[in-house]
Structure 1
Amino acid sequence: MSSTTVNYSLKSEPVAIKAWVKDRTVFIELTDFRIISFPADRFKILRNATDEQLQKVELRLNGYALRWEELDEDITVKGILEGRFQLAI
């Protein structure tokens, strides 16, 4: 399992301090230590990614976004928490 961590400061928008993928589910830990998850298949590019590619998630923009460099995919933490997914379950 691969994970990424980031330093953070408390802001009004949600900020992730850690991100990882397990069994094609993306997990993020927020500054308030809640852990949020969603199926990778809720996003077009992630749905078509290999398990190895999914593992390469990184936190960007000081924890405001997730990034998969190899896939050229960015997803905001705020968008995840607001349920703004591209695809239905």
Structure 2
Amino acid sequence: MTPFATDPLFDEISFTVVLGDGRRLKIPLRCFPRLAAATPGQRDGFRISASGAGLHWDALDEDISVAGLLRGQMDENVR
């Protein structure tokens, strides 16, 4: 079964994606510069895909897949 996102939670330096199986993935915001530069209101403007396999922020043009996070994938512009 593919893990699915239920909720992203933010603090000043990271975001945590809560998965349906109870796991939590904590990711530094620096890995996703658009999220790092966003206001708290913009970060709250996400939607979870119907399958739960990804997160999307229309206002930020940001898409993050759960599978990518589990592989340690980050924004392609981060080195």
TM-score normalised per structure 1: 0.71
5 Å matches for 1:1-89? Answer: 11=1, 13-86=2-75, 87-88=78-79
Which structure 2 residue ranges, 5 or more long, are not aligned? none
Equivalent-residue separation in structure 2 for 1:51 and 1:17 (angstroms): 19
Equivalent-residue separation in structure 2 for 1:30 and 1:43 (angstroms): 19
RMSD across aligned positions (CA): 1.8
Q: How far did residue 47 of structure 1 move?
A: 2.6
Q: How far did residue 61 of structure 1 move?
A: 3.5
Which structure 1 residue ranges, 5 or more long, are not aligned? 1-10
Aligned-partner SS, 2:51: helix
TM-score normalised per structure 2: 0.78
Aligned length: 77
